[in-house]
Amino acid sequence: MRMRPTLSWIPTEELPPGGTDPAPVVDALRAGGVLVLSGAGISTESGIPDYRGEGGSLSRHTPMTYQDFTADAQARRRYWARSHLGWRTFGRARPNAGHRAVAAFGRHGLLTGVITQNVDGLHQAAGSEDVVELHGSLDRVVCLSCGTLSPRRELARRLEEANAGFDPVAAGINPDGDADLCDEQVGDFRVLPCTACGGILKPDVVFFGEAVPRARVEHCRRLVREAAALLVLGSSLTVMSGLRFVRQAAEAGKPVLIVNQGPTRGDRHAAGRVALPLGPALTTVADRLGITVDG
């Protein structure tokens, strides 16, 4: 029996309410040694919706699973048509104040690194270094047969040539770069194979139902061990890929601070949650630390 991945979470216990004073975040950053774990919520101000917040994409869209993508040619056609269209918008997204603040914290030596669950590359575009892309990146494509990696822009160019005139109007864009299209809009979109071996191409991202590579997880666990504190930015922590690092930090007695407007699955492990939008909250934190956020 094929199991569907965890897409939603409903609290089964009363969680502490979020506050509006970012002072605990300021104090943690001032002490240094902070590891950032970011989620889709940090990119919403760049025009990329999150999965589970107000108006989140899961209310209208079920993400592609690894199992469906590998087993069903029509599912791949639907995915690549939607993703190709979405890439035109997704690829133009620019970092917002939240990304720029994180980069500024890093430049001032307050961070030990950034683990992001996002696949948009906006932390790096803002200037952050030592970013671990937990779920991969949409700007790369991998062949499932030979393992060849190639730039997404090359595949985008090939798809444009193979699908001349493909320009449907999408209902929206999703955090994974997938545009909302109906089957009629997908039509007979042409999917292209690997140029090296003819195998199936997949974006170099971890789909729902797919495991994060073990080496990447262990690298992140080491970062948690070496950090003095963990700062979660814009994640509901619904899926275990991010929640496990919160649990690890809490079990080790390291303070966990969360900035997220809604409750999260990690709230009971945290020293506190700041319920404010990421951009304004992190800009306020930077101001209190005397740090200028570029942009």
Ligand-binding annotation for 131, yes or no, is no
As given in the structure block, the two tokens for residue 17 are: 């309410």
Ligand-binding annotation for 7, yes or no, is no
Ligand-binding annotation for 55, yes or no, is yes
As given in the structure block, the two tokens for residue 52 are: 């589970």
Beta strands at 149-151 and 136-143: parallel, antiparallel or unpaired:
antiparallel
Ligand-binding annotation for 120, yes or no, is yes
Ligand-binding annotation for 210, yes or no, is no
Ligand-binding annotation for 85, yes or no, is no
- Amino acid residing at 185: Q
Ligand-binding annotation for 172, yes or no, is no
Ligand-binding annotation for 220, yes or no, is no
Among 170, 179, 206, CA closest to 66? 206
Ligand-binding annotation for 279, yes or no, is no
**Interatomic CA distance for residues 120 and 116, integer angstroms:** 10
Ligand-binding annotation for 183, yes or no, is no
Contacts of 267-274 spanning 24+ positions with Cβ under 8 A: 267/15, 267/16, 268/13, 268/15, 268/16, 270/232, 270/246, 271/24, 272/16, 272/19, 272/24, 273/16, 273/18, 273/19, 274/18, 274/19, 274/20, 274/21, 274/22, 274/24, 274/25
Beta strands at 229-233 and 34-38: parallel, antiparallel or unpaired:
parallel
Ligand-binding annotation for 43, yes or no, is yes
Ligand-binding annotation for 133, yes or no, is no
- For the question of residue 135 being annotated catalytic, the response is yes
Which residue in 84, 123, 135, 269 is the catalytic one?
135
Ligand-binding annotation for 235, yes or no, is yes
Ligand-binding annotation for 241, yes or no, is no
**Interatomic CA distance for residues 281 and 273, integer angstroms:** 12
Buried/exposed code over 128-150 (b: 16+ C-beta within 10 A; e: otherwise): beebbbbbbbbbbbbbeeeeeeb
Place of tokens 């620019």: 94
Ligand-binding annotation for 83, yes or no, is no
**Interatomic CA distance for residues 234 and 231, integer angstroms:** 10
Q: Which residues are catalytic?
A: 135
Annotated binding site for NAD(+): 39-59, 117-120, 234-236, 260-262, 278
Annotated binding site for Zn(2+): 143, 146, 194, 197
Annotated binding site: 39-59, 117-120, 143, 146, 194, 197, 234-236, 260-262, 278
